[in-house]
Structure formats: structure tokens, C-alpha cells
């Protein structure tokens, strides 16, 4: 039954690699020096000529990759900022002191994130336009165009994710603030529901709390202070969200238009097309052949060589 | 990260691929092209996304068999099956003029010498890496794998088949690659059957290949058997489960609705036809797929409410309330909303089909399958239960399924009875739907005095079940018995010695503290791998998850050559008696 299999295994026992019981067969390949030496000599000339023909987009791709790397790095920095903001926000909730300085940092971070985000967005758009240009120049099925497009898609998705994380962080903070307000209100002996807080945010009427101040005393007063500072924080938070909202919405739309199938490997492979060598390549070859023609090089004047 | 669920086969496969293929290439800062054949495309697609590859410096993915544009600046990673077609395509890339700067070659399985030497002769100088990764199975779900080989059914069970041994060898190789990927060396057991021997043959093949695979590593140590068991059964051992009308979401959907390639097509309210992928990327699908349709139905009003809420249009000014509305419009939410809409449609679709046909049918089916009615009263005259089904104008496939259940419940019937039934259902020219079951070892025609012992089932009278879902697939009994070490050696012989007292409860190593069941912990526990020769049904896949849920310390993984639906199984059964076509078949996959 499995005689052949066992022979194979016993022969290559020495080549076993330990990791995951995989077999590394590279050494077997390298012991063989075939008669391809001849082929090499023959083929080398043609190779040189063809090198000029094939893959014209090399320099372009280099710049695309450099830009993609740079953008990825920028996004990492953006994500770090978002994390820092998250930490700031939680610090604001837990410590009562120096609220003003912590607040300042949050706003500064928010502004930083916004400006970084907008710069990134502009560069992403530029890359997107470059990718479209490449598509028009080389055709959508060409390697260059596909490489550029896949870089764009993945960068857009990554950026959208980074901005979503920011949005998430601010949403969490929002809920925490509201919870704090509720708790402080309870200390004051007042029960407020979430909807009431939302209403108060909208209408700006916070006097509900301050009305009974005269009656309650010190604890109530500090609770009221808390509530007022949370309220201010919420307002600033809403302002930050509003600021970045447009960017967020644009990214979101872009990613949605991309669709999720672009991320699917099977869809990608299925969409590739058979490569058809371009006519321009053939013409270039012909020109080079002509240039290298021995008769021409000897400045021969016989009719067939003259052009 | 890559796949929807955070544990399971897909994650393991992706990790292994990262540790091998991608780790090798990580050293060079250059971007690379990945070239795949149809099998590896499907494999990779099931466990990761383009963005995962992009973050590992793979820029585009190409099809091995298409004519590709030469990109001399880049190195190419070839991940393919070791078949003649693949190797030829690879050689063509480098034979006359190289298309790429260099090649990193990875095979899913052992490459036969002849092909390897061919490669060596033509393009050895371009190959920087050449490894054989043991991974030739398809991870379907977190606890389900397949061999991606629906043709295996005909190859193994058709009386005209010429390549049964070859198919069994291929499957054995795939099972060994599964065990290698999971880093397990299981004890192999099979279900003994007096009529057919496929399980025994496959079990012996697998055990043999496993032994050779784990024979010796570089340091000369032999890997001992791990705490895992591999049970091999044949389709014929439980013919009821794959043809019964199931009422759990996934099984029901695939039975009643035409879902191909896990893609569900439906018409949205706005008109155009939409497609949805029913995979583990959809969190809602993971939650709902094993639930009874009644429970899914209960979720629907909640879904409708959430969808309606998300549709409210915000008015002009930007207030807090509006902002939250606008946030709700964001794609993250929209994706969730789309998922919910998909399931809304799917669940409604199921219920529509159900109330049209299946409802009345189910009661009779359950009675015949379980052998007793809802109250627990044994069915004395199966024909009486079957008759109303035959008289009602159900469509022929449903009637055939009912007739089959009748026959299975009696362990075969007389020829004249069978002929009467066939006449009644009007399938005289399609008798193969029923008769060919004998090729699976399931008795169809037996003499009245023949009373083979029916397997005793576990007592589930204490379990809470829906009236029309009383049947439990036999495989669940097997899994639970295996966990409790109750499988009798006479019925389930070991091929070679198993590790002492394999106890599914994983009470072996003192290192393992009994933590609360976090999904990750299960991977460090013991594993039970079940393989069904000839195809598995969705209800059986569900059992793997159910049993893992109850016995938290052991993970059950189920697999087969492919996944069946009742319709596909009946068609395959009918095709068993067809003579092989006299046509030239291009074989996509050959074996080592």
C-alpha cells in the first residue's frame, strides 16, 4: 500500500527539519549543478534586452512603497496618540485635582490627533489618485496597478480603524462622564436618568442641581462642583468629536465604498487576469535589436542594414 | 484578528503559516508576491485576509495557473500542492526567462521525487527556500475541517470505482497533516462493521503514516503519543442524521435554501439582489447558527427594532442626539446592521419554507427516527406513521426522505414492500435513491426474519428538547461515550496501542489547573478528533460544539471528506451506480 511513501521517508530522513515536522529540501536542490550553464550563456543576451522591456513601473512602485511605509508609520503615531488620550481621559475621571491641566492635555491631544489625521487623509487621497493614474496608464490588471491599489485599500482600512479607535475612546469617556454625573447627583440626593442628562446637555439647563444648593451643605456643594466640571468636560468632548466628525465620516464612506470583498483573498485571486504582453514592449525590443545589429555597428553600407 | 472566532482551527492554521512561510521571508525587507493554486487560495482565504498579508509585506496575490506579468524586481512565494500541474506551472515561470527575482517554494504535502527532480533540473538556482509544510486539509470552522473532496464519496462507495485505495491514501495523508498541524499524535480507533471495511482500512493507513511521520526528528527522539484520540466512522453508521429535516438554524438553512459556497443570496427591500457570506466573520452567525429556529425567531423582533432605530434621519442642527444618530450611520454600525438584516431575511426564509412543507413532515420523521412519539410511546407500526406522509402531496424528495427513514427504522424491508413504496412515490425510474444505500452498508432489503441488533442510544429523557427536534445524531453519543471512556474495544478497536487510560476529561497532567472554561484553555487540554468517511451533516458538526461546551476540558474536532446536505447526499447516492464517464478528467490534485 504505502511502500513508496515509506521509501521516500527513509531516504530523506536526514533532511528532516525539527520545526513542525516540516521537511526542508533546500539542500537537495543545491547539490545539483545541471547543464544549464550553456543555457545561461545563450540566454544572457536576451535577458539583458528583455530587462529593459519588463516591469517599467519599478521606480514608481518604489515611491509608492516608500510612501506606504511612511503612512503606516504615521498611523502608528496616531494610534499612540489615541492611546494617550484614553489614558488622559481615565486620569481625569479618577483624580479630582488639577482638572484644568489634565483637560488642557486632552484638548491638545485631540487637536494633535485631528491635525495628524487630516494630514494623513490628504496623503491617502494623493496616493489614491496616483493609484488611479497607474491604472489608466498600465491597465487595471497590470501588476503595478494592482500593487498600488492593494496598498491603498489596506491603508484606507487601517486609517479608518485608527480613527474608529479614537471615536471609541471618546464615546467611552462620554459614558463615564455621564455615569459620574449620575453618581454625584445621587450623593446630592437626586436621582437623574440618562435621558434627563441628555436633555440637560441639549438644552443647557443645569440649574436643576443648583436650585437646592442653599439647603444641602458642603458635600452637596462639592458634588455640584463635580457635576459642573463633568458637564464642561462633556461639552469639550462633544466639541472634539464634532471637529473630527467630518474626517471620520469621509473615511467611513471611503472604506464602505471599497467593500469588504477587496479584503478577501479568494476574490482577489479570482479577479486576476491572464497577462498579455504589451505591444510597446515588442517595439522596444525591435529597436534594440536593430541597434545591436552587427552590420550597423560596422557601419556597413549594404542596403538591408540601412534604415 | 484574522478570522472571526478567536480560537480554533483557522487560527492555528494561520499561525502555522505565519510561523513558516511568512517568518522565512520577514528577513528581507523587500515586498513579495504570493502565488497560489486553487486549493491554497481557498485555504488561505478561509483563515486570513488581504490586509493580514499586506501587513506581512506581501503586496499582491496571484493565481499560479494564470499567465502572470513578469515582475523581475520582486521575489515570489509559491504556496502550492505538490502536483504535476503545479510544478509544471512553476517551472514555466523560470525555464526560459525568469519572471521573478527568486522563488520561495512551499508545498502543502510531500513532493514526489519525480516532480522534485524535475524542479531541480530546471530552476534550482532560483529557489531560495523549498519546504514541505504539512497542511493539506481545509479548516472550515473553528472545530470543523474538511478534505475539500466531494468526489471521494463516489470514489469510495461506487461499485464501479477504480481508485478507492488512492482516495483513501489521499485522505489518510490529509488526516496526518491535520494531526501534524495540531501537533497531536492520537490513538486511532475505528468503528467495526461486518459489511464494509473502509473505516478499518483508513484507520490502519492513518496509523501507519502517523508512525512514520513522527518517527525520528533530528535529535533522535521519538515523539510519543499525545492525549488525543482519532475516531474513524463511516457514513453508513448513521444514515438518519444527514437526511432528517433539522430545525437548527445552520442545518435548516443549508437544507431548505439553495446556499452555494456559503453565500446566501437574497433580495433587499431596496430592490437589488444582495449576497452575504455565512462565515465566521459574521459574529451574529456564530452566535445563532446552532440555535433552534424558534430561538432565532425570538431574536427577530429585537433585530427589527434595532434596524428601524438606525434608520431615523437626523435633522439639521448638530445636537447631541443627532450626533449619536450620525455615529450610528458609521460603517461599523452599518456592518452590524447589514449582518442583522441578513439574518432577518435568512430566518424568515427558513420559516417560510418550513411552514410551507416541513412542519407536518417533521413529526412523522421524528417518530420514525427516534422510534417513539412525543409522549414516549413506542412506534409499533412504522407504516402507520409513514402513510399520512405518503398520502399528502409533498414533493418527491421529501417523500423519498420519509421512505428512507421508514426503511432505516426497520433496518431494511422486504422486496415487495419496497416495490409498493416505490410505486406509491412514483420513482420507478429513480430507484437508485433508495437501493444504492446498500453500497454504504445500510440494509435496505432484508428478509422478515432478519433482526440485527439496533445500537443502544444514550438515555436523553432528562434533556429538554423541542418536540420536533427529539433526534440526536448518533455521533453525539459516540463523542460523549469517548469522553467518558465508555467506547467498547470490541466495537471500536484500537489500531495500535493508545496512551494509557485516555480520558477525555483531561485529568492527566498535574500542570493543568482546572480553570473556568476560557476558550483558549481548551487548546491545552486533550482533543477528540472524529472523522466521518463519506461526508458529514451540519447537525453532526453542531454536536462537536455542543459536546465541547458541556465537557469543557476537551475539544472535539469533527471532519470529513466534505459537508453534506440532504439533497446533495441523495444525488450522490443516486450517482453511485452510474458507470464512470468515458471522458478525460484533469486531475487537480494527485497524491504523494
Burial class of residue B219 in the structure, from the number of CB atoms within 10 Å of its CB (0-12 exposed, 13-18 middle, 19+ buried): exposed
φ/ψ (deg, to 5) at B128? -95, -30
Alpha helices (H) along A99-142: 99-138
Residues 6+ apart with CB under 8 A from B268: B274, B341, B345
Residues in chain B with CB shorter than 8 Å from the CB of A264 are 45, 49-50
Q: How far apart are CA A192 and CA B45, in angstroms?
A: 51
| B54 at interface of A, judged by CB pairs closer than 8 A | yes
Strands B144-146 and B554-560: parallel
Question: CB distance B218–A30 less than 8 Å?
Answer: no
Exposure string of B149-188, with b = 16+ CB inside 10 Å and e = fewer, is beebbbbbbbeebebbeebbbbbbbbbbbbbbbbebbbbb
Question: CB distance A21–B134 less than 8 Å?
Answer: yes
Q: How far apart are CA A136 and CA B286, in angstroms?
A: 42
Kindly identify which residue of chain B lies nearest to residue A6, measuring between CA atoms. Answer: B212
Restricting to A residues 207-236, those with a Cβ less than 8 Å away from any Cβ of B are none
C-alpha R_g of chain A = 33
φ/ψ (deg, to 5) at B85? -60, -45
Residues in chain A with CB shorter than 8 Å from the CB of B215 are 9, 13
Min Cα distance B592 → chain A (Å) is 7
Min Cα distance A187 → chain B (Å) is 26
> Is the model's pLDDT at A276 over the cut of 70?
yes
Q: How far apart are CA B343 and CA B364, in angstroms?
A: 29
Q: How far apart are CA A211 and CA B6, in angstroms?
A: 52
Question: CB distance B327–A2 less than 8 Å?
Answer: no
Quote the pLDDT of residue A6: 41
Q: How far apart are CA A161 and CA A157, in angstroms?
A: 6
Q: 3-state class of B418 per DSSP?
A: helix
Q: How far apart are CA B112 and CA B132, in angstroms?
A: 11
Question: CB distance B130–A24 less than 8 Å?
Answer: yes
CB B94 within 8 A of CB B78: no
| A171 at interface of B, judged by CB pairs closer than 8 A | yes
Min Cα distance B106 → chain A (Å) is 9
- Considering only the beta carbons, identify the residue of A26, A252, A265 that sits closest to B61: A265
Quote the pLDDT of residue B304: 79
Q: How far apart are CA B474 and CA B463, in angstroms?
A: 16
Restricting to B residues 106-165, those with a Cβ less than 8 Å away from any Cβ of A are 110-113, 116, 119-122, 124-125, 127-134, 165
Quote the pLDDT of residue A103: 65
Eight-state DSSP code of residue A22 = -
Q: How far apart are CA A133 and CA A138, in angstroms?
A: 9
* Per-residue model confidence as pLDDT tens for chain B (592 residues): 344 456 789 999 999 999 998 888 777 677 899 999 999 999 999 999 898 898 888 989 999 999 998 988 889 999 999 999 999 999 999 988 899 999 999 999 989 999 999 999 998 889 999 999 989 999 999 999 999 999 999 999 999 889 999 999 999 999 999 999 999 999 999 999 888 899 999 999 999 999 988 885 545 556 778 889 999 999 999 999 999 999 999 999 999 999 998 999 998 777 788 888 899 988 889 999 999 999 998 888 887 787 777 666 555 555 555 665 566 556 566 777 888 889 999 999 999 988 877 778 899 999 999 988 888 888 888 899 999 888 888 888 999 999 999 999 988 888 999 999 998 888 888 889 999 999 998 988 887 665 555 677 888 877 778 888 899 999 999 999 998 888 888 999 999 876 655 544 444 444 444 444 444 444 457 899 999 999 999 999 999 999 999 988 899 999 999 999 999 999 999 999 887 665 555 555 555 4
| B36 at interface of A, judged by CB pairs closer than 8 A | yes
Residues in chain A with CB shorter than 8 Å from the CB of B139 are none
Residues in chain A with CB shorter than 8 Å from the CB of B212 are 5-6, 9
The gap from C-alpha A220 to its chain's centroid, in whole angstroms, comes to 49
DSSP assignment string, A236-287:
HHHHHHHHHHHHHHHHHHHHHHH-SGGG-HHHHHHH-------HHHHHHHHH
A113 vs A203, higher pLDDT? A113
Residues in chain B with CB shorter than 8 Å from the CB of A160 are 331
> Is the model's pLDDT at A298 over the cut of 70?
no
Q: How far apart are CA B345 and CA B338, in angstroms?
A: 11
Residues in chain A with CB shorter than 8 Å from the CB of B48 are 265
| B592 at interface of A, judged by CB pairs closer than 8 A | yes
| B323 at interface of A, judged by CB pairs closer than 8 A | yes
| A36 at interface of B, judged by CB pairs closer than 8 A | yes
B532: enclosing H helix or E strand:
strand B526-533
Residues 6+ apart with CB under 8 A from A99: A92, A229
Sign of CA dihedral B42, B48, B49, B53: negative
Residues in chain B with CB shorter than 8 Å from the CB of A26 are 127-131
- CB pairs below 8 Å between A and B: how many? 197
Quote the pLDDT of residue A278: 61
CB B97 within 8 A of CB A49: no
Strands B263-267 and B273-277: antiparallel
Tens digits of residue pLDDT in A148-201: 998 998 899 889 888 888 888 888 888 888 888 888 888 777 777 877 777 777
Quote the pLDDT of residue B587: 58
Number of continuous H segments (helices) and E segments (strands) in chain B? 23, 15
Question: CB distance A6–B213 less than 8 Å?
Answer: no
Quote the pLDDT of residue A1: 40
Min Cα distance A94 → chain B (Å) is 25
* Among the listed residues B330, B254, B189, B176, the one whose alpha carbon sits nearest the alpha carbon of residue B563: B254
Quote the pLDDT of residue B520: 40
CB B223 within 8 A of CB B214: yes
Strands of the sheet containing B71-80, edge to edge, are A23-24, B127-132, B100-107, B71-80, B32-36, B58-63
CB B574 within 8 A of CB B432: yes
Q: How far apart are CA B528 and CA B543, in angstroms?
A: 12
Q: How far apart are CA B331 and CA B334, in angstroms?
A: 4
| A306 at interface of B, judged by CB pairs closer than 8 A | no
Restricting to B residues 198-227, those with a Cβ less than 8 Å away from any Cβ of A are 205, 208-209, 212-219
Tens digits of residue pLDDT in A81-132: 899 888 887 776 666 555 666 666 788 888 889 899 999 999 999 999 999 9
The whole-model pTM stands at: 0.81
Q: For chain A, how are helix, strand and coil distributed in percent, rounded to 5? A: 80, 0, 20
Q: How far apart are CA B181 and CA B136, in angstroms?
A: 10
CB B303 within 8 A of CB B340: yes
Burial class of residue A280 in the structure, from the number of CB atoms within 10 Å of its CB (0-12 exposed, 13-18 middle, 19+ buried): exposed
Amino acid at each position: 500500500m504505502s511502500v513508496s511513501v515509506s521509501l521516500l521517508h527513509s531516504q530523506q530522513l536526514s533532511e528532516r527539519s525539527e520545526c513542525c515536522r516540516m521537511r526542508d529540501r533546500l539542500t537537495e536542490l543545491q547539490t545539483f549543478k545541471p547543464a544549464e550553464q550553456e543555457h545561461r550563456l545563450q540566454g544572457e543576451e536576451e535577458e539583458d534586452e528583455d530587462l529593459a522591456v519588463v516591469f517599467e513601473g519599478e521606480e514608481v512602485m518604489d515611491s509608492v512603497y516608500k510612501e506606504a511605509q511612511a503612512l503606516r508609520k504615521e498611523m502608528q503615531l496616531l494610534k499612540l496618540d489615541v492611546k494617550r488620550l484614553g489614558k488622559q481621559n481615565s486620569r481625569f475621571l479618577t483624580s479630582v485635582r488639577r482638572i484644568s491641566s489634565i483637560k488642557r492635555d486632552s484638548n491638545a491631544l485631540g487637536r494633535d490627533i485631528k491635525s495628524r489625521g487630516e494630514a494623513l487623509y490628504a496623503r491617502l487621497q494623493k496616493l489614491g489618485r496616483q493609484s488611479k493614474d497607474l491604472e489608466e496608464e498600465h491597465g487595471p490588471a497590470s501588476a503595478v496597478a494592482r500593487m498600488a491599489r492593494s496598498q491603498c485599500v489596506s491603508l484606507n482600512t487601517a486609517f479608518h480603524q485608527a480613527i474608529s479607535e479614537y471615536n471609541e475612546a471618546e464615546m467611552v469617556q462620554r459614558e463615564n462622564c455621564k455615569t459620574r454625573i449620575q453618581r454625584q447627583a445621587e450623593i446630592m440626593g437626586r436621582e437623574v436618568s440618562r435621558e434627563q442628562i441628555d436633555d440637560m446637555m441639549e438644552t443647557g439647563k443645569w440649574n436643576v442641581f443648583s436650585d437646592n444648593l442653599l439647603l444641602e451643605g458642603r458635600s452637596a456643594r462639592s458634588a455640584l462642583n463635580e457635576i459642573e466640571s463633568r458637564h464642561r468636560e462633556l461639552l469639550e468632548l462633544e466639541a472634539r468629536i464634532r471637529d473630527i466628525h467630518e474626517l471620520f465620516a469621509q473615511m467611513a464612506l471611503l472604506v464602505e465604498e471599497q467593500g469588504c470583498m477587496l479584503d478577501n483573498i479568494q476574490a482577489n485571486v479570482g479577479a486576476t487576469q491572464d497577462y498579455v504582453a504589451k505591444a510597446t514592449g515588442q517595439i522596444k525590443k525591435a529597436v534594440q535589436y536593430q541597434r545591436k545589429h552587427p552590420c550597423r555597428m560596422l557601419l556597413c553600407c549594404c542596403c538591408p542594414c540601412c534604415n | 484578528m484574522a478570522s472571526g472566532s478567536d480560537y480554533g482551527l483557522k487560527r492555528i492554521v494561520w499561525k502555522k503559516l505565519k510561523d513558516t512561510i511568512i517568518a522565512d521571508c520577514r528577513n528581507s525587507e523587500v515586498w513579495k508576491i504570493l502565488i497560489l493554486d486553487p486549493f491554497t487560495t481557498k485555504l488561505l482565504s478561509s483563515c486570513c485576509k488581504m490586509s493580514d498579508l499586506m501587513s506581512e509585506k506581501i503586496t499582491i496575490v496571484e493565481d499560479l495557473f494564470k499567465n502572470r506579468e513578469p515582475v523581475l524586481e520582486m521575489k515570489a512565494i509559491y504556496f502550492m500542492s505538490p502536483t504535476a500541474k503545479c510544478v509544471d506551472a512553476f517551472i514555466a515561470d523560470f525555464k526560459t526567462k525568469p519572471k521573478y527575482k527568486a522563488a520561495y517554494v512551499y508545498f502543502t504535502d510531500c513532493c514526489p521525487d519525480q516532480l522534485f527532480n524535475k524542479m531541480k533540473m530546471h530552476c534550482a538556482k532560483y529557489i531560495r527556500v523549498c519546504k514541505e509544510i504539512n497542511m493539506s486539509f481545509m479548516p472550515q470552522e473553528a472545530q470543523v475541517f474538511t478534505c475539500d473532496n466531494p468526489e471521494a464519496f463516489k470514489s469510495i462507495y461506487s461499485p464501479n470505482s477504480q481508485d478507492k485505495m488512492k482516495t483513501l491514501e489521499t485522505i489518510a495523508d490529509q488526516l496526518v497533516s491535520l494531526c501534524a498541524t495540531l501537533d497531536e499524535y492520537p490513538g486511532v480507533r475505528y468503528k467495526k462493521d461486518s459489511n464494509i471495511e473502509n473505516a478499518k482500512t483508513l484507520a490502519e493507513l492513518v496509523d501507519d503514516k502517523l508512525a512514520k511521520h513522527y518517527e525520528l526528528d533530528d535529535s533522535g527522539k521519538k515523539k510519543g503519543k499525545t492525549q488525543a484520540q482519532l475516531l474513524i466512522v463511516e457514513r453508513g453508521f448513521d444514515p438518519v442524521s444527514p437526511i432528517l429535516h433539522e430545525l437548527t438554524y445552520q442545518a435548516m438553512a443549508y437544507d431548505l435554501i439553495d446556499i452555494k459556497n456559503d453565500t446566501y443570496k437574497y433580495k433587499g427591500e431596496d430592490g437589488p439582489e444582495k449576497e452575504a457570506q455565512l462565515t465566521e466573520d459574521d459574529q451574529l452567525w456564530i452566535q445563532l447558527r446552532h440555535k433552534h429556529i424558534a430561538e432565532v425567531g425570538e431574536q427577530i423582533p429585537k433585530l427589527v427594532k434595532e434596524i428601524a432605530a438606525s434608520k431615523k434621519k437626523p435633522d439639521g442642527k448638530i445636537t447631541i442626539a443627532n450626533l449619536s444618530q450620525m455615529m450610528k450611520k458609521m460603517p461599523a454600525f452599518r456592518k452590524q446592521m447589514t449582518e442583522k438584516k441578513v439574518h432577518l431575511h435568512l430566518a424568515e426564509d427558513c420559516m417560510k419554507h418550513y411552514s410551507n412543507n416541513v412542519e407536518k413532515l417533521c413529526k412523522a420523521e421524528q417518530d420514525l427516527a427516534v422510534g417513539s412519539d412525543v409522549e414516549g410511546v413506542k412506534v409499533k407500526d412504522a407504516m402507520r406513521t409513514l402513510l399520512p406522509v405518503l398520502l399528502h402531496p409533498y414533493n418527491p424528495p421529501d417523500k423519498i426522505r420519509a421512505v428512507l427513514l421508514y426503511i432505516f427504522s426497520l433496518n431494511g424491508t422486504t422486496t415487495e414492500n419496497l416495490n409498493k413504496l416505490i410505486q406509491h412515490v412514483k420513482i420507478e425510474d429513480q430507484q437508485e435513491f433508495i437501493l444504492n444505500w446498500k453500497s454504504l452498508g445500510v440494509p435496505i432489503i432484508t428478509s422478515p426474519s432478519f433482526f440485527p441488533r439496533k445500537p443502544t442510544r444514550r438515555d436523553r429523557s432528562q434533556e429538554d428538547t423541542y418536540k420536533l427536534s427529539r433526534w440526536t445524531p448518533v455521533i453525539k453519543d459516540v463523542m460523549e461515550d469517548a469522553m467518558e471512556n465508555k467506547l467498547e474495544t470490541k466495537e471500536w478497536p484500537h489500531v495500535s496501542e493508545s496512551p494509557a487510560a485516555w480520558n477525555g476529561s483531561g485529568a492527566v497532567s498535574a500542570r493543568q489547573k482546572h480553570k473556568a472554561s476560557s476558550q483558549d484553555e481548551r487548546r491545552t487540554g486533550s482533543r477528540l478528533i472524529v472523522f466521518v468517511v463519506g461526508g458529514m451533516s451540519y447537525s453532526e458538526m453542531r454536536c462537536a460544539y455542543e459536546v465541547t461546551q458541556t465537557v469543557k476540558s476537551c475539544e472535539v474536532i469533527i471532519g470529513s471528506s466534505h459537508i453534506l446536505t440532504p439533497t446533495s447526499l441523495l444525488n450522490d447516492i443516486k450517482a453511485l451506480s452510474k458507470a464512470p464517464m468515458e471522458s478525460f478528467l484533469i486531475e487537480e490534485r494527485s497524491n504523494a
